[in-house]
Amino acid sequence: MNELSIPDQNHLLRDGVRRYLQLPADQTVLILHAKVAQKSYGNEKRFFCPPPCVYLTGPGWKLKQEQVKASNLGEAGFRVCGYMGLDSVGSSHLETQKLNFEEQPDSKEFSCAKALYISDADKRKHFRLVLKLFFSNGQEIGTFHSKLIKVISKPSQKKQSLKNTDLCISSGSKVSLFNRLRSQTVSTRYLSVEGGAFIASARQWAAFTLHLADEHCIQGEFPLREGYVRYGSVVQLICTATGVMLPPLIIRKVTKQYALLDVDEPISQLHKCAFQFQGSDGMYLCLSTEKVIQFQASPCPKEANRELLNDGSCWTIIGTETVEYTFSDSLACIQDLVSPVPLITTLQLTGGGDVAMLEVQGEYFHANLKVWFGDVEAETMYRNSKSLVCVVPDVSAFGSDWRWLRYPITVPLLLIRNDGLIYSSTFTFTYTPEQSFLPGQQVLPELPQDSDALLDSIHQEFTRTNFHLFMQS
């Protein structure tokens, strides 16, 4: 018998985790979709707009494809394919769409489901999209879900009340903007970013963070404001993928190709709107085929509170969601599906000193997961699919002399399945030295320059416990 003992297995696993932390070979599945979907009527199919998109990113995909290629001996077996459809409740094969991925210049793989819709026979108020991924040799990778999507019958025409905020758009949320000439689906163009410039794309859309800005803001220096976005507000649109931003814009309500200058009601999903450049005299964000340009609106002689726009200046706004699943099977030859991929949403620390407990909250947890602090496994208890509790490892696990050092240690939080599959997260855990360990010294001694960024994220005054928790997205 050549089986490894449990200490040997643990040692091997820890070595593997160390290698992974030095060179993470992650595979990430990114799903982008709208927050609301308009129901179809009878035979008229209302395809989801913007169409749900899937991006595959991370170096792990290439490595995995090379493994599959080597084991398969065929050329075609290692490409990633997928199907996307609506979750359960009698969704027939007709409502499932095949996805073919194409490689993009930045080595992401991209596909979108242009022909998905929800029929009026489906009486649900909410649903999720389901993505199944597999290699073209038939080997299944896993199943991934979107966030909840709200079903609406049509865009709300009545003035939105802040008592019912379901359809309102809040500052700091993500939106997509599209333009459709003469209501024709084939003419739909999405505001997107390519090579650092804004474009109008027929195929790909970008999600933008919409911030309420101060009316006297200078570009790039705007104080962010909370609350729901109303017409007449100054807003800033920032591309979530590239960080490229438009200059400050005033968002205007559009009715029959007129921008209304005196409306201040809350903005609602799928409303028609226009974006006037702040400080300009009637210049609006506009598209001209693939280009994004400025358009000069004409004043309305009979009504001073209106300006006449062209087709390209009228945009439809819709809230969007992003869900990201990241995993790495670099430590083991995984035969099982990688799903369900757990998602961490929040952390809660209780206790301190010698016994601190960390509750990890999120979705898709199961009993075969352990929480790891960097390369140190924590004693983990499974509560339910939304909660894991673990004992925070003693700081000595990261090096016995740490207590006499004078700087904090930050370690990434991982979830590792019992077969060695790693699920990384955007969360880290920071140990900070107690003041009592530094007799007669300043709380913060001189540190090398490159640690400034780290210190900025640490509380300036140490508390009595040796733990602080930080989320780092």
List pLDDT tens digits, range 194-220. 888 999 998 889 999 999 987 665 554
State the burial class of residue 279 (Cβ atoms within 10 Å of its Cβ: 0-12, 13-18, 19+).
exposed
What strands lie across the sheet with 129-135, from one edge to the other? 97-100, 80-86, 129-135, 140-145
pLDDT category at 444 given cuts 50, 70, 90 is: very low
Examine the pLDDT at 464 and tell me if it is beyond 50.
no
Query: Is 351 found in the same domain as 225?
Result: no
What is the mean pLDDT of the segment spanning 436-456? 44
Q: Which of 219-228, 248-257, 437-446 has the lowest mean pLDDT?
A: 437-446
Residue with tokens 């609350």: 227
Query: Nearest Cα to 294, choosing from 316, 273, 313?
Result: 313
Query: Nearest Cα to 287, choosing from 311, 263, 254?
Result: 311
Beta carbons of 316 and 323 less than 8 angstroms apart: no
Query: Is 226 found in the same domain as 190?
Result: yes
Q: How large is the greatest C-alpha to C-alpha distance in the chain, in angstroms?
A: 93
Residue 334 lies in a domain: no
What is the mean pLDDT of the segment spanning 350-372? 91
Q: How many domains does the chain have?
A: 3
What is the mean pLDDT of the segment spanning 14-39? 93
Q: Which domain CATH number covers 257?
A: 2.80.10.50
Domain end residue (candidates: 122, 152, 182): 152
Q: Which domain CATH number covers 399?
A: 2.60.40.10
Query: Is 315 found in the same domain as 177?
Result: yes
Contact partners, residue 345, CB within 8 Å, separation at least 6: 361, 362, 363
Query: Is 178 found in the same domain as 117?
Result: no
- Predicted confidence at residue 293, as pLDDT, reads 92
Q: In the predicted model, what is the mean pLDDT of the chain?
A: 83
Beta carbons of 322 and 176 less than 8 angstroms apart: no
Query: Is 121 found in the same domain as 50?
Result: yes
Extract long-range pairs of 292-300: CB within 8 Å, 24+ residues apart. 292/191, 292/197, 292/198, 292/199, 292/200, 297/259, 300/258
What strands lie across the sheet with 380-384, from one edge to the other? 343-352, 355-363, 387-391, 380-384
Residue with tokens 């990430």: 28
Q: Is the pTM of this model over 0.95?
A: no
Highest mean pLDDT out of 39-53, 247-261, 318-332? 247-261
- Predicted confidence at residue 324, as pLDDT, reads 95
**Token code pair at residue 244:** 């490229």
Q: Domain residues for 419?
A: 342-441+451-471
**Token code pair at residue 55:** 């991006």
CA 126 to chain centre: 20
Query: Is 38 found in the same domain as 136?
Result: yes
Query: Is 188 found in the same domain as 109?
Result: no
- Predicted confidence at residue 335, as pLDDT, reads 74
Q: Which domain CATH number covers 51?
A: 2.60.40.1450
Highest mean pLDDT out of 212-226, 271-285, 457-471? 271-285
Beta carbons of 386 and 377 less than 8 angstroms apart: no
- Predicted confidence at residue 440, as pLDDT, reads 43
Beta carbons of 46 and 38 less than 8 angstroms apart: yes
What is the mean pLDDT of the segment spanning 270-292? 93
